[in-house]
Amino acid sequence: MQFNDTFLKACRNEHTDYTPMWIMRQAGRYQPEYRKVREKYSLVEICHHPEICAEVTILPVEQLKVDAAILFSDIMIPLDPMGIRFEIKESVGPVIDNPIKTLQDVERISEIDLDKIDFVRKTVQILKQELKVPLIGFCGAPFTLASYMIEGGPSKNFMKTKTFMYTQPDAWHLLMQKLSAGMFTYLQFQVANGASALQVFDSWVGNLTADDYRQYIQPHAKALFEKLKVLNVPLIHFGFSASHLLELIQEAGGDVIGIDWKTSLAQAKQRLGQNVALQGNLDPVSLFAPWEVLEKKTAYILDSIPQRGHIFNLGHGILPHTNVAQVQRLVEFVHTHSRQP
């Protein structure tokens, strides 16, 4: 089988024969095979075993026939080698042992020690050998990571994070600098070992006003994307529920802007310009609708913007109870419906 580079071409806004797609959280609990692996190993244990981790990464590519793989990992994995201890709690998400409260806590965060995540190097190297589609490496963006580190876990209103930002701006900026530097090293490491595109997930940034984004986040996101340019791979920048920040996110950087399911793709294209590639944006819950409804919604998205420079995806992660056959049908439909004569 030949290497399928359709996804990379679309990221570069080049002509492709059809719209490529992958799915955020494409390796996960909706797959019976993944659930089986999880009976034996925790999420972190899977990451620590390169052979198993590679298998879990490959599974959705083979099962769904998507055009890209995403490294099976979590945004928290690179924090451990910076001295941040965490746990991933079932149906909750990341929980931190000692949440950050003071400047001293921030000063204690170390530079990322790549030797401690040698399993990532091994997994990516296996995937480089085995995959016939591009591998997407990823990290959490500084704000999203900081929010877990300060809140101690998932949050509804980000009260502690914003209070920290407003009351200890020096400590905040130091934290963002450290995370931005650490994530650059981490992403560079993934590319050096075989990742051929990168996605930065700023999942919770939509909880900020545009003014706060500009003042407290954007300089650091910009610094990260500026440095990433030298790696010469497509960069995807995704924020959830961040319609009000789209232009600012684009300004911070990225060849591809990820669009969440709440935002109109056509309007995003108008606002961001014809030269930026877009990724998105089917509502993950649409997969629970009868096929005819799902088909209509998918066709609507595909027909709403030019085919060139569009990477089809969900507008956030796939949900645990999604039916695999329905996802397979979706992928097939996206490929055939978008095919240029």
Q: How far is the CB of 239 from ligand CP3 (least distance, A)?
A: 9
Structure tokens at 58: 């490959």
Q: Output DSSP code: residue 282.
A: E
Q: How far is the CB of 73 from ligand CP3 (least distance, A)?
A: 6
34 included as an active-site residue:
no
Report how far residue 75's alpha carbon sits from residue 116's, in angstroms, rounded to the nearest whole number: 16
Q: Which of 5, 18, 25, 255 is catalytic?
A: 25
Q: How far is the CB of 341 from ligand CP3 (least distance, A)?
A: 33
The answer to whether residues 106 and 175 touch, using CB atoms and an 8 Å cutoff, is: yes
User: Which C-beta is closer to ligand CP3: that of 90 or that of 115?
Assistant: 90
User: Which C-beta is closer to ligand CP3: that of 28 or that of 309?
Assistant: 28
Strand order in the sheet with 277-282: 69-70, 135-140, 197-202, 235-239, 256-258, 277-282, 310-314
β 310-314/277-282 pair status = parallel
Q: What residue has token string 């490959």?
A: 58
Q: How far is the CB of 38 from ligand CP3 (least distance, A)?
A: 5
Report how far residue 182's alpha carbon sits from residue 48's, in angstroms, rounded to the nearest whole number: 20
Q: Which of 29, 271, 308, 329 is catalytic?
A: 29
The answer to whether residues 281 and 265 touch, using CB atoms and an 8 Å cutoff, is: yes
Q: How far is the CB of 328 from ligand CP3 (least distance, A)?
A: 16
Give ∠ CA 305-292-328 in degrees, rounded to 5.
75
User: Which C-beta is closer to ligand CP3: that of 61 or that of 248?
Assistant: 61
93: Cβ–Cβ under 8 A, 6 or more apart, which residues?
A: 148, 153, 154
Q: Which of 12, 38, 214, 308 is catalytic?
A: 38
The answer to whether residues 69 and 144 touch, using CB atoms and an 8 Å cutoff, is: no
User: Which C-beta is closer to ligand CP3: that of 13 or that of 31?
Assistant: 31
Q: How far is the CB of 140 from ligand CP3 (least distance, A)?
A: 6
74 included as an active-site residue:
yes
Footprint on this chain of ligand CP3 (rule: CB under 6 A) = 24-29, 38, 43, 70, 72-75, 88, 90-94, 138, 201, 203, 240, 317
3 state DSSP class of 157? coil
User: Which C-beta is closer to ligand CP3: that of 93 or that of 99?
Assistant: 93
User: Which C-beta is closer to ligand CP3: that of 77 or that of 334?
Assistant: 77
41 included as an active-site residue:
no
The answer to whether residues 296 and 262 touch, using CB atoms and an 8 Å cutoff, is: no
148 included as an active-site residue:
yes
Give 239-273 as a DSSP string: ETT-GGGHHHHHHH--SEEE--TTS-HHHHHHHH-
User: Which C-beta is closer to ligand CP3: that of 13 or that of 142?
Assistant: 142
Q: Which of 12, 41, 74, 308 is catalytic?
A: 74
Report how far residue 340's alpha carbon sits from residue 233's, in angstroms, rounded to the nearest whole number: 26
Report how far residue 85's alpha carbon sits from residue 282's, in angstroms, rounded to the nearest whole number: 34
Q: How far is the CB of 210 from ligand CP3 (least distance, A)?
A: 20
Residue nearest to ligand CP3 (CB): 203
Report the catalytic residues.
Answer: 25, 29, 38, 74, 148
